[in-house]
Amino acid sequence: MKSAIILLVAIIQLTPAAEPDAESLLRKVSELTLSEDGKLNFTQLVTKYGHTAEQYEVATKDGYLLKLFHIPGKRSSVLLTHGLGADADLYVIRGHGSLGIALADRGYDVWLLNNRGTKFSRRHTALDPDKDKKFWDYSFHEMGYYDLAAAIDFVLHQTGEEKIMAIGHSQGASQFFALTSLRTEYNQKVKLFLALAPGAFFFNMPPLFQIAAGAGPLLLELAKILGIEELCRDRGALVTLIKIICTKGIISYEVCVKGAIFPFLGYNPAGFELSFLRTVLGHAPSGLSRKCLEHYDQLYLRKKFGQFDYGVSGNLGKYGHPNPPDYALSKVTTDVALMAGELDTLSLVQNVKVLKNQLPNVVHFEVIEATTHTDFVVSGEASIYLFPSIFRLLQEYD
Ligand SMILES: *[C@@H]1O[C@H](CO)[C@@H](O)[C@H](O)[C@H]1NC(C)=O
């Protein structure tokens, strides 16, 4: 077991050196095994499904250069933020059955943020992601405090609107709550926030999660010792290997989806079918920092929705207190709608209820049937179970 972990970590570690080979290999693999939509990029997908896509570069206060996508529409602006290991691509890969396109089909002005570290936002004014470890020194905290703030301001500036609507999936919700609890003026810039499978509290988790999260500190410490800051790099050697293994038909589906995704995020073959693997693997996973996982692991282990724990001396220096402060959810005064998935084994319904009890302005709470953690964004059946509720809410605030 230990040697397998070391081997795995070593493969990740080899990523930069293996880069050119990995890339040409991946190109060959994708030519053979990906679906048409697995091969098209964001712009091409949006065009294929009847809209136009624009790209903007948004600079954050701490120097990251983020790619923000825009699908112009005449109704109110809606800003979408993605989950961990994802990027804006996942909001369009089901065509008219994807939230990004479905909102555009209904005339909304759709904006899609790509958080720092994803394949679209791997840039900084001063730091080199390949050389400077400092580039990867962030979690959902900074994605909220800086990235989401910059995106909201950019959209308000571009559109001349006073307030926008925003939707965040999983980490996209964590970052929203981090932002609006700390920089409270952002509550006035958003008229409705829709949290899909929000990640904040992790009480009473399933046994498999407990095992993985319990091993988290050890594995993450090992990764740190080996100098691994970036995980899931698009076109890295490990990701390429996973893509090769996972695009081989029914066996791949058993191993990669039924064996690796469903046990952690919820079981629903109807929402994530075999043929969809050939599309989704052209777009995911997208890069993230080791610290992202570390912060979530801390939320689980500390049983609090709080800031990053740097250890007693680190915390004293950073926060002036031996423990990291909790995010003050009472300060999130934006109207919030919460949606939890009936089959979600990561953002459990009961934990979304805990969140509901701590937020002052919850205008809607709903358990979406037949929906896992990933189904909120990539299910082929989201237009049946999820979209009607979303459209009804947005319409109220439009
Ligand atoms: C997609 O590919 C086209 C053609 O190469 C390019 O012009 C466009 O910028 C790409 N879009 C993204 C989001 O990378």
What is the per-residue pLDDT for 321? 97
What is the per-residue pLDDT for 1? 45
Kindly report the pTM of this predicted structure.
0.93
CA distance 127 to 125: 6
What is the per-residue pLDDT for 191? 98
Residue 114: CB within 6 Å of ligand 1? no
What is the per-residue pLDDT for 23? 64
Could you tell me if 155 and 77 are in contact, meaning their C-beta atoms sit under 8 angstroms apart?
Answer: yes
Please tell me what DSSP assigns to residue 181.
Answer: H
Cα→Cα distances 91→69, 95, 276, 389, Å: 11, 9, 14, 17
What is the per-residue pLDDT for 361? 98
Ligand 1 centre and the CA of 222: distance in Å? Answer: 37
Q: H or E element: which one contains 141?
A: helix 140-142
What is the per-residue pLDDT for 194? 98
| pLDDT tens column, 143-162 | 999 999 999 999 999 999 99
Residue 44: CB within 6 Å of ligand 1? yes
Residue 56: CB within 6 Å of ligand 1? no
What is the signed CA dihedral for 43, 48, 52, 56, rounded to 10 degrees? -10
CA distance 66 to 70: 13
Ligand 1, atom nearest to 69 Cα: 13
What is the per-residue pLDDT for 317? 97
Helix axes 290-302, 207-225, angle to 10 degrees: 130
Ligand 1 centre and the CA of 42: distance in Å? Answer: 7
Ligand 1, atom nearest to 44 Cα: 1
Residue nearest atom 2 of ligand 1, based on CA coordinates: 41
Domains by residue range for the chain, with CATH: 4-397 (3.40.50.1820)
Residue 323: CB within 6 Å of ligand 1? no
Q: For the purposes of burial, counting CB atoms within 10 Å of the CB of 289, is it exposed (0-12), middle (13-18) or buried (19 or more)?
A: buried
Regions in the chain scoring below 70 on pLDDT: 1-32
| pLDDT tens column, 77-89 | 999 999 999 999 9
Ligand 1 centre and the CA of 46: distance in Å? Answer: 11
What is the per-residue pLDDT for 239? 81
Ligand 1 centre and the CA of 48: distance in Å? Answer: 13
Residue 43: CB within 6 Å of ligand 1? yes
* β-bridge partners, 364: 337
